[in-house]
Structures are given as C-alpha cells and as structure tokens.
Amino acid sequence: EIVLTQSPGTLSLSPGERATLSCRASQSVSSSYLAWYQQKPGQAPRLLIYGASSRATGIPDRFSGSGSGTDFTLTISRLEPEDFAVYYCQQYGSSPPDTFGPGTKVDIK
C-alpha cells in the first residue's frame, strides 16, 4: 500500500499570498495518478486536480498541480478568502486501495 505524507500539517497565510502544499508518496505513483481535493467544514470534498496537473472542471487557474514519481505539489498562486480549507492528496496508481494523505489545513494568518 502506498502511504502519502502531506506537509506542512497547517499552513497559516494571508489572503493574496501564495500557498505551496506538498504530497510525498512512499513509492512511485504510476502514471502520475495523483489527485488533489479541497474540503471545507461541513462539506463534501471537491476535486481540484487529477493526473497530477490537470485542473477539474470549473476550478480557477490560481490552482495548479505539479510533480511526478514520489513528489507532488499543489500551488495556490494568490489565496482568496474562500480557499481557506483542508486539502487532501490521493493516489490511484496502485490500488486497491487507493489512498489519501492526512491533509494540509490552510488557515488565515
């Protein structure tokens, strides 16, 4: 089973700042089968990025994904007030099971 580690656990930033979130896998993720989700309190997760770098439908271009192998990054170029949330990565290259990372909380500084 591939284990995902996300860092940092919490990221405290101000609106307008750049956020860089990391997701590291215990083994190489085949075909860059890695996704990123955003979850706000009381809501279901929302798909942001799939295939490591493809934005999902309706996702603003301030969200971007990059990486391959074992190291992946989600970047939010300029934080908007609605971006403060928890972000999870998921690998689906080696399954079952697909696995999620523990999450990174982006909160307001």
Partner 1 sequence: EVQLVQSGAEVKKPGESLKISCKGSGYSFINYWIGWVRQMPGKGLEWMGIIYPGDSDTRYSPSFQGQVTISADKSISTAYLQWSSLKASDTAMYYCARSPLIRGYKYGHFDYWGQGTLVTVSS
What residues from 24 to 53 belong to the interface with partner 1 (CB under 8 A)? 33, 35, 37, 39, 44-47, 50-51
Give yes or no for residue 17 binding partner 1 (CB under 8 A): no
Q: Kindly report the three-state secondary structure assignment for every residue of the chain.
A: CCCEEEECCEEEECCCCCEEEEEEECCCCHHHCEEEEEECCCCCCEEEEECCCEECCCCCCCEEEEEECCEEEEEECCCCHHHCCEEEEEECCCCCCCEECCCEEEEEC
Query: What mask of x and - would describe binding to partner 1 in positions 88 to 107, judged by CB under 8 A?
Result: x-x-x--xxxxxxxxx----
Query: What residues line the site for partner 1 (CB under 8 A)?
Result: 1, 33, 35, 37, 39, 44-47, 50-51, 56-57, 88, 90, 92, 95-103
